[in-house]
Amino acid sequence: MLFDLHPKETRGELFGRDEEVEYVKRQVRAGNWVIIGGQRGIGKTSLMKVVLNELSREGFRAIYVNARGGVTTLRDLLMMLINEINRSRLKLRLNVSLNFIVGSAGITLSRGGSRVFNSLLELLLSIDEDTVIGLDEVQELSRVSGQFLRILGNVFMSNPRVSFIFTGSYIGLVKTLLKPNPESPLYGRPPVEVKLRPFNDELSREFLRRGFKESGVQFNSFDIVVDRLDGVVGWLTLFGNYHGIRSLGVDEALRETINEGGVKIMINEIEHFLEDKVNKALYLAILSVLKVVNRWKDIKFAVMARLGREFGDRELLNALNALINYNFVVKVREGEYRLADPILREVDYDKLIKRYLRMDD
C-alpha cells in the first residue's frame, strides 16, 4: 500500500518514480555507477530497493547495505558485505586467499588475514558475476572516505562486473564522489547523479487520492495537506498512514505528522549534522531566520542580531553552503535561499540554540 511506512520494494508500490527507475537501471547496465540524492523523506531508499530488485530479476546479483544502521568503518562494511554475500550465495574467485576462509556455508574473515583495507578490496575484486551493490546513506562512511575512495577507484578500474548505487546527503564522501579532485582515484569517472525532488501539487494530490482509495477512506482535504507537506513523499505517506490506516482525524493526523513524526526526525537529522561542527549555534540561527527572511543581506543581519555577534561573509557563507549540501537549505537564485523541507519551519530552533550555547560555555 502507498501508505505503508516501510521503504518500497517493487514498482507497483512506488509512486511517481518510473522515469527515475528506468534511468538508474539504464546507467547500471551501461557500466556507470549512480548516486541517488535528495532531502530526507524524498524516497531515496525506496528507489534504490526497487532498482535492485528489478535488476536482480534481469540477471544481476543485488546486495543492499544500509550504512545508517551502524556501518561507519571499513570493517563494518566488510562484515556486512560478507553476510550479504553468504546469504545471496554470490559466486567469488577466492580459491586461494590469505584473508578469507572458504567453506560450505560461505566465506568468513581469516583471523590471520591482512588488514581490513586489503580484505575488502580482495572481496570486491573477487566477485565473478554481474553484481550491483546498493550502499544506502553513504555519507556515514565519511570518516574513512580516503581509504574507501581508493578501494572504489581500484574496483572501478579492475572489476567491471561490480557496480555501485549510492544514496546520501551531499556532504563528505558523497560530495567527493560527485566532484572528485584530480588526486582522487575516481577523477574522470564520477558516478551519475539522480537527484529526487518533491512532488508537484498535482502528483501530491494523486498520491493522496490513490492511497486513500486503497485504504477505503473518503478524503477531500487536499489543499491544507498539500500546502503544509509540500510534496515530500515521506511526510505525505506518514499523514496517509495516520489518517487512512490509524483512523485519526485530518487535523490530528496532520499535527502528528508534523510534530510527533516530522519534527522529531528533523531534529535528529540536525543533531547528526551538527556532530562535527564547531559553532553549532550559527547553523541553527541560519535555519531559524530562514523562516522569515530569504535574502543574503537580511539573513546575515538577522543571524548576527539573533546571536549577538558579528560574522564575516566567508564564515556565514560556508555555514550556509554546508546546510545546502546537506539538503536543509535550497539556493533559489543568487543571493536568495529557502528551507528545503516544510517540516524545518516547525522546529523550535530557539530551544536548540540555547542548549548548544550552554554546551559551548
Q: Write out the DSSP string of 44-61.
A: HHHHHHHHHHHHHTTT-E
The angle formed by the CA atoms of residues 73, 75 and 79, to the nearest 5 degrees, is 125
Please state the pTM of the whole predicted model.
0.87
3-class secondary structure, 42: coil
Tens-digit pLDDT profile for residues 243-298: 999 999 999 999 999 987 889 989 988 998 898 888 999 999 999 999 999 999 99
pLDDT exceeds cutoff 90 at 24: yes
Predicted confidence at residue 98, as pLDDT, reads: 67
pLDDT exceeds cutoff 70 at 112: no
What is the overall mean pLDDT for the chain? 89
Tens-digit pLDDT profile for residues 328-359: 999 999 999 999 999 999 999 999 998 887 76
E strand or H helix at 165: strand 162-168
Location of C-alpha cell 560556508: 318
Nearest CA-CA partner of 237 in 218, 262, 220:
262
> What are phi and psi for residue 233, nearest 5 degrees?
-60, -30
- 94 pLDDT tier (thresholds 50, 70, 90): low
